[in-house]
Structure 1
C-alpha cells in the first residue's frame, strides 16, 4: 500500500485499481456502478484488484471534485440514550469550531451493524471516525485505520496501543457503587447488566466484584446477576421484576444497574410492586444523565463527564491529522453522586 508524505497509509484509489487490473478508470467505474456492461472476465479481474488493494469506493467523489468536504463520522452504541446524546453534543461542539460536519449513527450494540456503518462512513469519505466499539475484535476498526482514516475509540477504557481512546475508569466506578451499598449495610446486591457485546458492563461488574471481595464476601453468594438484553428502561423494568420474583431469602436488598436507563426501569418496577425505595430496595445507576436528579425518588448514580468525553475524543481526532501525532489514551475518573434512591432524606 502506498503511503502519504507523513508515512501514513494512503487509501487506494480507483486509479490504483485500474492500474493493477490493467484496465481503464472508466472500466473500473462501470464495474462499480454498471457491472452488467462489463465482460465477466474483465469484471472478475477488477474485483480481484479491488480485494487485493482493499479499495473502498468514495461515495462523496463528485462532491469532492467541487470542493473539500470536512466530515467526521461517529458510531455510538445508541444515540437515543441520553448519555450518548450528551457525548455527541461534546463531539459536535469541538468539531464545529473547526468547521467540520458530524455524521452520526448508532450501532445498537450490534457488531454487524457497527461494521456496516464503518463501511458507509468510509465510502462517504469522512476524514476520521469516532467509534464506541462493541465487545469483541477491533479488526474491522483497525482495518479502516490502516486504510488511512484517523480513528479514535470512544467510551473505551482499553483498546489498542496504536489507536487513541477516551473513556472512564468503569472498574473504579463499579467498585464505588458497590462500596457505597456495602457501607449502607447491604450484603446481597443485584447487578443488572446489559448485552455481552457491551464491554463497559463487564468492567462495571468487575469493579463491584472487587468491592465484595475486599469486604470479605463471596461474589457467588453476594452478587445476584440479571442479564438484560439491552440498556433500556424496559429491560431494567423486566430485570427488577425478575429480582422481585426471587424467594425472600435469595432476594437482594440493593441493586446496581449498569446504566441509568435500566435503573429508571428498575425504579418503575419497584413503584408498581409497592416496594419502598430505599427502605426495601436501594438502587444505584451509572452515567448520571440529567433525568436522574428529577425522578420522584432521585437516583444515586456514578457520574461520567459525558460532554467532556465527546469533546476530548473529537479533539484527539483532530490532533491525529498532525504528522507527528502519537496515540493517546485518556481515562477520566468517575464520581459517585448520592441521592434518595440509596439514602433516605431527613
Structure 2
C-alpha cells in the first residue's frame, strides 16, 4: 500500500523510492544501476526487483539540469570488420551536424570490457551511447539505459523498453540471398555459419540462419547449415575442410563477408571455379566484395542508412524521447560474378 501511495502522489518514481522499496540505501541502488564492482548478487536482485515493480526510470529533466557535454560514446565490437567503417563514418557525420563529438571504444567481443567502457562513458557524463554488435546481455543494457540514452545496432531485441535498436532486416536479407541463388538455378544451397556456442538470441547470425531456413522451406527444400569455429578462432582450416567435402553443396550462402571473402579466395587457390563449381553469396556487401578480382555477390545492409538512422535515433533519445523505437533497414542483394 505504501508503494501505491508513493506512485499515486508523484508523477515519477525516484531512486529514493527504489531504495525504500528494496530496503537499501540510495548509494546501494546507484551502485547496482552503474553495475559497480563489488555489488553482491543478493543486493542486485533486491534492487532489480524493486526497479521492475516500480517501473523506475531516471528523470530526463534531472539529466538535462546537469548540462550536456556534446559527446557521444560509440562502442564497437572490433575494428577489423571493414563493413563497420561505413556505419561509424555516417553516424559520426550525423552527430557532427548537431555539434556532437563521437568518442570510440572497442569492446573486443568481451562483455566485461563492454560493461567497463559503458560505465566510463556514464562517469564521463557523455550524453548518449551508440553500441554496435554488443556481447553484453539485453538485461544489463536495460539497466545502463536507465542512466544514459542508448541505441544499439546489430542487436535484435524488439521488446526492449529502455533503449532503441536499429538493425538490418537480417532475416529478410538471408531470405533474399536464398531467392537470388534460386533465380540463378541453384537448388542445392547450404549456409556457412559458425558455432554460436552460448551466444545470446539477439545476434545477427541467428536471424540470418532463420531467414535462410525459411527461404529454403518456402521452396520445399531442406536447409543445411555448416558451421565454422566460433568467433575469434582461426577458420582457415575449417574453410579448406568445407571445400574438400565430398558432398559439398552447389551453392553456399555465407553468414558474413568476413568468411565469404576468404572462402572465395581459398576456392580459387585450390582450383575450384567460382561460380562454375561453387556459387557463393555473402552478407554485408563490404568494400572487399566489390573489388573486381573478388566479385562477390553479397547482401547489402546499407551501412550509411544504419549509421545515420542510429545517430538520429540517439539524438532523439538525448532530446528527451522515452518511448522505445526498434527500426529495421531493408537490405538488397548486389549481384556479382560469384553466382
Q: Same fold (TM over 0.5)?
A: yes
Aligned residue number for residue 254 of structure 2: 257
- Counting matched residue pairs gives 288
* Equivalences for residues 287-302 of structure 1 within 5 A: 287-302=284-299
Secondary structure at the residue paired with 2:318?
coil
1:315 aligns with 2:306: no
Aligned residue number for residue 131 of structure 1: 131
Deviation readout 1:29-50 (Å, 9 max, x if unpaired): xxxxxxxxxxxxxxxxxxx864
Q: Which runs of 5+ in 1 are unaligned?
A: 18-47, 58-66
Change (3 A) 1:53 1:115: closer
Runs of 4+ in 1 over 4 A off after TM superposition: 5-10
1:242 aligns with 2:241: yes
Instruction: Please report how far the alpha carbon of residue 272 of structure 1 lies from its aligned counterpart in structure 2 after TM superposition.
Output: 1.5
Aligned residue number for residue 331 of structure 1: 328
Q: Which runs of 5+ in 2 are unaligned?
A: 1-9, 20-24, 36-66
Aligned residue number for residue 204 of structure 1: 208
* Equivalences for residues 140-151 of structure 1 within 5 A: 140-147=140-147, 149-151=148-150
Measure, in 2, the Cα distance between the counterparts of 1:110 and 1:193.
20
Note if contact 1:224-1:252 (Cα within 8 Å) is conserved in structure 2. Answer: no
Instruction: Please report how far the alpha carbon of residue 73 of structure 1 lies from its aligned counterpart in structure 2 after TM superposition.
Output: 0.8
Measure, in 1, the Cα distance between the counterparts of 2:316 and 2:11.
14
Give the superposed CA RMSD.
2.9
Change (3 A) 1:207 1:142: same
1:52 aligns with 2:36: no
* Equivalences for residues 113-128 of structure 1 within 5 A: 113-128=113-128
Instruction: Please report how far the alpha carbon of residue 72 of structure 1 lies from its aligned counterpart in structure 2 after TM superposition.
Output: 0.6
Structure having the higher Rg: 1
Note if contact 1:157-1:170 (Cα within 8 Å) is conserved in structure 2. Answer: no
Measure, in 2, the Cα distance between the counterparts of 1:290 and 1:124.
35
Change (3 A) 1:173 1:188: same
Measure, in 2, the Cα distance between the counterparts of 1:8 and 1:268.
58
Change (3 A) 1:136 1:318: closer
Deviation readout 1:57-80 (Å, 9 max, x if unpaired): 9xxxxxxxxx95321111122222
Larger mean CA deviation between 289-298 and 179-188 belongs to 179-188
Instruction: Please report how far the alpha carbon of residue 56 of structure 1 lies from its aligned counterpart in structure 2 after TM superposition.
Output: 4.7
